[in-house]
Each structure stands twice: as structure tokens, then as C-alpha cells.
Structure 1
């Protein structure tokens, strides 16, 4: 009986799943109303965001308190690791779909549409070259180069992966100062990355004439880099929570899955960026 209690934990009934469901309903409904210019759309949308934030703080706070009170054992830890692993796998598939779309249009669709009778289906002057500006081909634009802000951002993200690993080593050695400093530097590097990406977007619109509607090149560029930037934002928020928990005295060398989960996510974001840099910017 004692062994079963140590291995298994049954949480109390929670109100937060229903709050999450309501938040997503309002989020989706508000977005649909907003894009259709219904005045109530933004209010419904941000109400969903507010409820979602409340749910995240409440539910994750409950999990943290349960963990710190020693209620979780090996079985719960294993379940958390499997769950995080499958979540990251779903994110891999998410980006695989976007990379697949870029591969399809760049390698297959764009060249194929420039041959034979397909030209009659498109606009005058279409030549099947990449990058392709679509029907706006007459408007000159400059593709985003790799050796500038993208290369600097690559160095920043690689450095952030190293500082996060350094923080992890500090935690394993019981050096909490190293843990906190490594986390802080990682978060700051993530913030610099996002600031440079925002500047890159402003530069693209203002000086390169590269916009979201610049044909298939513009849409795939902003889709891939924008969603990656969103993931960097989420990862930085996760690491900020881990820093706050570390400052509150949470985590031990033997029990720190929350930190590990955030680190896994951040390293995943780093790897995705390497693919983005090569495929979107360099090639």
C-alpha cells in the first residue's frame, strides 16, 4: 500500500479545463468576428485571451504547488516526460508542414507552372523563378539576405543554447548562482533575438518592399519566421517562469523536470532556427 501511494498520484478535480475550453471558444469566435469587422470581435477575442492567461496561471500554479509539496513521484515524473516529448513531437510536425509547403512551392509548383499550357493559367510575365513575387512581380522587391541580422540571430540562439546548458550544469552541481545567471542571460539573448527580428520585419517592409503579400515568397517567409518568433516568445516566457521559480528556491539536482521541460523546448526552437536559416535565408 505504501509503495502504491509513493508511485501514484491522483489529482483533485479541477475547474481549469472548463476555463481553458471557454477561453479557446471565445478566442476563436472573437477572431472570426474581428476579421469580419463585427464591432464585438476584438472584445470577445481579448476576453478569451484574458481567461486563457488566468487558466494558465491557475493550473500551472497548482501543479507547481503539488510538485513542491512532494506529491509527485517517479510515475508522475515519467508521465510528464512522455507528455512533453509528445508535445515537442507535435511541434516538429507543425513546422514540418510549413517546411513541406515551402519545399512544394519552391521545388515543384513554381517551376512546373512555368512549362507548357500552364502559363495560360497565370499572369503575363510569369517565369517560374524563385523567389517569386506572384502577381505583383512588376513591383521590385529584395529577398532577405542571410548574412546580416539572420546570421547574427543564428549566433544569438546558438549562444542561448550554450548558456542554458551552462545553467543546467549549475543546477546539477547545486550551484544556484550559476543556474540563475545562466537563465537570465538566456532570456536576455532571446529578447535580443526578438528585437532584431522585429527590426528585420520593419526593414523588409520599409526598404526591401518585402511584405506578406509579396507572392508565395513573402507569405512563406513571414509564415515560417513569424511562427518561429512566436515560439521564441513562448520559450522566453517559460524560461522567465523557471527563473522566478529558481529565485523562489525551487528545483533540486534530483528533481527539476519543470526546468528540463523548458530547456527541451528552447533547444527545439534553436534547432528549428538552424533549418530556417539554411532553407529560408541562405539557399
Structure 2
């Protein structure tokens, strides 16, 4: 607690005391990045460094969030803090928009610019065996005239991607119902619909795990399957990770609701998680059309 805070009174603007959490979280992320980089380059020991980084990071974040929740429930956060949280969450979601925009942009550039240019007459002298066909689903196709990409089958929209689309759209509806119930002061109804939303998120992840297993074992579709495979797994994989994070957000918000946190007037923790979940829904709609249909 800040030394400038008077006990029992909401400060004009709460300033927390110096904290060790930022340094510890940064150290955990350093291990994650270092371990992931070394693991990709074939060092088996790096997997344990990666897992250790995730463990440290998760431990630090739960302590950090627990502290922030305690400060909020103690009445230390004024309306100015509420506004700063809203701006912070807005900029965070904007950064996520740019993150996914980069991957959608890579897919767009590959299909509509790089592929036609490489298959043009100008490049025929440099790469005479190249065929500008999307996707590169067979040996010798597109970016693999030297047969370095094994034949694979592309992933269509039926049935799992369509089922997952329905699941996420339904979860957006249940989350909105829960929000309206919270504003109306119906806590039990809010908790029920929040659990429904969490369950829908878990079901989505279960279907995606099955889809990945099906892709690797039956379709021979892998991260190394040319530009198609890399963009497919990067887009769907990162989105799946965001669904997992959003599901955890909603789970912890639901637990807080069961503990009596939030009021119809003050519940930005709920709203912030809801913003993130709706963002994940919108990204999936774009991904569903661009990756599975087009």
C-alpha cells in the first residue's frame, strides 16, 4: 500500500509501493524466450528452461493479480484508477489486433503477391519448375519444386471449424447475458451463464486439440508443410492460445463472482475479460473465413 494513502479512505489516485513482481515476471519471460529459441534449434534441455519460465511467470502473475484484487476489494481504487484500467485494456487489445494483423497480412501477401510474382515469366529463368498454385498440397507444388515438402491434405471448414465457430458465437451470447445479469444485480444468474461460457471455451479447445491431432496423423499437415502449413498453424495456434488465456480470465472472474466480488456499478474486472473474449470471437470469424474457406 502506498505510504500516501490514508487508512479507510479511497485515495484520489492510488500509487502502489515498489514491487518485485515486474522484475520476476521479466525473468520468467526471459527464460521462456531463451528456452523456446534453443528448443527450436534442437537442444533438448531447453524444453525444461521453457517450462521453468512458464512456471515462474504463472506464479508471479497469480501473486501480482492477487495483490491487485486485494487492493481493489480494500477500496483503494478510485474512479481515476478505473479509467486507467480501461485505457490499459483498450491499448492491450489494440496491440493484439496488430499482432494478428501481422499474421493475416503475411497470409494475404503470400497468396496475392509473393506467389503470383514467383510464378511469373520474369522469375521463370531463376525458378523454372515453380508452379504458382495455392495451397502447396503435393510434392513439387508451389514453393517445393525440390520435393522438400511432403504431400498433405488441406483443412476444410467441415465439421470441426464450423462447430468451433458456433461454440464461440454461443459463448459471446452467454457472456453478454451474464453481463446484463450482473448489471441487474442477479448474481446467481451471472454465475450460471459465466460457467456456461467457460465450458464453451474449454469445449472449443478440446475440438482444436482433436483437429491438430487429425491434421498431423491423418492429413500429414504440419508446421513444415510449406507456406500453407506455417500460416495455418501460426494463425490457429496463436488464436487457440488466446482462447486459453481468455478462458482462464473468465474462470477467475467467475470464481471472484462466487466470492462476492463486483457490484452492478463497479465490475471492470468482468468487463475487461469480456472485452478480451469478444475480441477473440471476432478474430476467429476472420480466421474461419480466410483460413478455412478461401
- TM-score in terms of structure 1 length: 0.93
Q: Structure 1 residues 83, 176: closer, same or farther in 2, change over 3 A? A: same
Q: CA deviation at 1:48?
A: 1.6
Report the counterpart of residue 45 of structure 1 in structure 2. 50
Instruction: Determine the structure 1 residue equivalent to 2:140.
Output: none
Q: What's the offset of the Cα at 1:186?
A: 0.5
* Residues 139/51 of structure 1: CA separation in 2 closer, same or farther (3 Å cut): closer
187-196 or 86-95, larger mean C-alpha shift: 187-196
- Cα RMSD after superposing both structures: 2.0
What SS is found at the alignment partner of 2:63?
helix
In 2, distance between residues paired with 1:273 and 1:265?
13
Q: 1:37: Cα distance to partner?
A: 4.2
Q: Structure 1 CA distance, aligned partners of 2:17 and 2:53?
A: 25
1:169 corresponds to: 180
- Change over 3 Å in CA distance of 1:123–1:57 after alignment to 2: farther
Where structure 2 has 5 or more consecutive residues not aligned to the other structure, the ranges are: 138-142
Greater alpha carbon shift after TM alignment, 72-81 vs 174-183: 174-183
Q: Is 1:94 aligned to residue 94 of structure 2?
A: no
1:38 deviation in Å? 4.1
Q: Which has the higher helix share?
A: 1
Q: 1:246 aligns with which of 245, 253, 257?
A: 257
Query: Among 46, 65, 75, which residue is 1:60 paired with?
Result: 65
Larger deviation: 209-218 or 84-93? 209-218
2:35 alignment partner, one of 30, 45, 50: 30
Q: Specify the SS of the correspondent of 1:171.
A: helix
Asked if 1 retains the 8 angstrom alpha-carbon contact of 2:160 and 2:207, the reply is: yes
- Relative to the length of structure 2, the TM-score reads 0.90
Assess if the C-alpha contact under 8 Å between 2:149 and 2:225 holds in 1. no
* Number of residue-to-residue matches in the alignment: 281
CA offsets 1:12-39 (integer angstroms, 9 cap, x no match): 1111011112112222222233334445
Aligned to 1:132: 136
Partners of 2:246 and 2:276 within 8 A in 1: yes
Residues 5 and 255 of structure 1, relative CA distance in 2, 3 Å threshold:
closer
In the TM superposition, residue 209 of structure 1 has moved relative to its aligned partner by 2.3
- Pairing 1:139-178 to 2, within 5 Å after superposition: 139-178=150-189
Shift of 1:199: 1.1
- In structure 1, runs of 5+ residues without a counterpart are none
